[in-house]
Structure 1
Amino acid sequence: MIRNFSVVPATFPQSLEKTEVSYAFMNCSKGEESSEGRWVSGKSMDGQGEFTFVANPQPFGPNPKLQPAPPYMHNTPPGPETLK
């Protein structure tokens, strides 16, 4: 069954979009082969911007302080007893 609905980014509010990277391809791979694709240069398909290639992307903020995963996500309890 085919449904007629859009997914991101069409349903994401543009007012919340980080527009400075809307058309940037962030290279997260070894090498720069991905810098040769249509997705890294030229006018965007929607005509609203120009594609760019970011060879060495940097984070926009500090490392997050995350809580430990809930126990149901793994079966190895934390602590020294796991080293026995």
Structure 2
Amino acid sequence: MLQNQWLAAIKELDVQEGKTVLSIFSKELEKEEFSYVFMNLSRGEESSQGCWASGRSMDGQGTFQYLQEVPPFASAPKLKPAPPYIHDAPPNVK
């Protein structure tokens, strides 16, 4: 059922927008270097066989690329430790 809902929504957007990218999103904010890149973040390489991983894009404006090894795009953040309630431990337990 869910797949059919997605397909219906995509078809509706195609009619309204002429492509499956919403025109209300500012083009200046789009990170275009990633627009047609599939980044594999799973084990295995089965996803490289999909139509989303290579060849001409469905909107005709780019060529899909498959990226098996995804490099970090920023340095590791320095985060404060999570408060105790996040760990589901009573406050008096340390």
* TM-score (norm. length: structure 2): 0.62
From 37, 47, 51, the counterpart of 1:38: 51
More helix by share: 2
Q: How many residue pairs align between the two structures?
A: 77
Q: Please report how far the alpha carbon of residue 66 of structure 1 lies from its aligned counterpart in structure 2 after TM superposition.
A: 3.3
Ranked by relative contact order (alpha carbons within 8 Å, sequence separation 6 or more), the top structure is 1
Alpha-carbon distance between aligned partners in 1 of 2:62 and 2:30, rounded to the nearest angstrom: 14
**Residue identity (%):** 53
Unaligned runs of at least 5 residues, structure 2 = 1-11
Indicate conservation of the 8 Å contact 2:85/2:91, yes or no: no
Moved over 6 A (4+): none
Partner residue, 1:13: 26
Shift of the 34–68 alpha-carbon distance from structure 1 to 2, 3 Å rule, reads: same
Partner residue, 2:4: none
Q: Please report how far the alpha carbon of residue 44 of structure 1 lies from its aligned counterpart in structure 2 after TM superposition.
A: 0.9
Alpha-carbon distance between aligned partners in 2 of 1:78 and 1:50, rounded to the nearest angstrom: 53
* TM-score (norm. length: structure 1): 0.69
Partner residue, 1:23: 36
Root mean square deviation of aligned Cα: 3.3
Unaligned runs of at least 5 residues, structure 1 = none
Alpha-carbon distance between aligned partners in 1 of 2:72 and 2:66, rounded to the nearest angstrom: 15
